[in-house]
Structure 1
Amino acid sequence: MTAPEGALKVPGHNNATYGPVPKASQLFEIEFLEITPSPVPTDRIFFQLLRGEIPPSKNKDPAHLDKLLTSATLTITLSAILSNGEHEDETSYTVPLRTTGFSLAGQLSIRNSTGAYVEHLSSSGHNDILTDCQLPGMFIRTGTWTFKVVAELEDGTCLFAITLTQWLEGGMKD
């Protein structure tokens, strides 16, 4: 599926766009986002690598920002237009933006600019956010799904915000 007309595409091998928060209002500058396989399948593990940094021009107080980064959150909001035309209500999940294992369903790992795995993002240098996930088809209804991913500091500052829309084949019946 391609990006919506007029939307600003996130660099890399993906069909993600910036938003719902405008790119200019995001603190973290994304170098690239790789998603494989793409489009994202159900019932298979897929991987994501987001690389970027908080540029010095947006980082006036590194010590304070490093403190805020320890409590950053990641909110994923899902919605869908199903194959029968019905709409799935938006559902949101918020987790700490830190290295975390979510059982066998997925992992979120963060690396700093040296490639070392760390607990949370750093205010200086490049950061990598790596995830591996699986979308169990038995819980998904077939349709066009939209995933909005927003990372924020506890003061409400947006680190990054991206949206991905694609068709998913699910096993859950209407």
Structure 2
Amino acid sequence: MFKQDKVYGHSDAIYDPVPKEDQLFSVEFLEVAPTPIRSDRFFFALLRGDLPETKKKELALPDEGLVDATLSLSASVVYADGSYEDTESLILPFKTATFNDWTHLSIRDARGTQVDYLCSSGRSDILLDFQIPSMFVRSVAQWLDGGL
């Protein structure tokens, strides 16, 4: 069993399953507001970190950024009464994108300029703004489990 290492900042995030020291992207901090995340309200997540130049050279990363990178997200819903849903996971292309009116993912370089992909070296910020409409919270979980 591995030790759960918390990501620095204001969130409940942990390094899982790849340990902190084995991560390609060295996280400086992760801020999530508001915490806890509530349905029908926008929340924001800001992840700041660095991809060391040594990793770029070691892995022969392209100068234009990590154009083939993916982002894996896992989350679960916890209700006010303490009940919860099983964890669901999602894998997305890791690039600046607008998914719909309620979901945006932006990547910024060390100067704060929005870029399409995570920089192959140096500091980057990843900003997510998102809203989970409450009408979908139980419905989506039931649909994914084949319950609708």
TM norm structure 1: 0.67
- The question of 1:18 aligning with 2:15 is answered yes
SS of alignment partner, residue 5 of structure 2: coil
| Structure 1 segments unaligned to the other structure (5+ residues) | 1-5, 142-174
* CA distance in structure 2 between the partners assigned to 1:86 and 1:11 by the alignment: 25
Residue of structure 2 equivalent to 1:120: 117
Partner of 1:64: helix, strand, or coil? coil
Cα RMSD after superposing both structures = 2.5
Q: Greater strand share, 1 or 2? A: 1
Aligned CA distance change for structure 1 residues 24 and 42 (closer, same or farther; 3 Å)? same
**Alpha-carbon distance in 1 for matches of 2:127, 2:45:** 6
Report percent identity of matched pairs.
44
User: What's the CA shift for 1:56?
Assistant: 2.5
Alignment match of 2:50 (pick from 53, 70, 86): 53
How many residue pairs match? The answer is 135
1:51 touches 1:129 (CA, 8 Å); kept in 2?
A: yes
- C-alpha distance in 2 between matches for 1:86 and 1:14: 18
Aligned to 2:29: 32
In structure 1, how many angstroms separate the alpha carbons of the residues matched to 2:50 and 2:24?
Answer: 9
Mapped partners of 1:103, 1:129: distance in 2: 18
Q: Structure 1 residues 42, 113: closer, same or farther in 2, change over 3 A?
A: same
1:67 Cα deviation (Å)? 5.9
Relative distance call for 1:68 and 1:99 in structure 2 (3 A) is closer
SS at match of 2:130: strand
Q: 1:108 maps to what in 2?
A: 105
Question: Hey, what's the Cα distance between the residues in 2 that align with 1:86 and 1:37?
Answer: 19
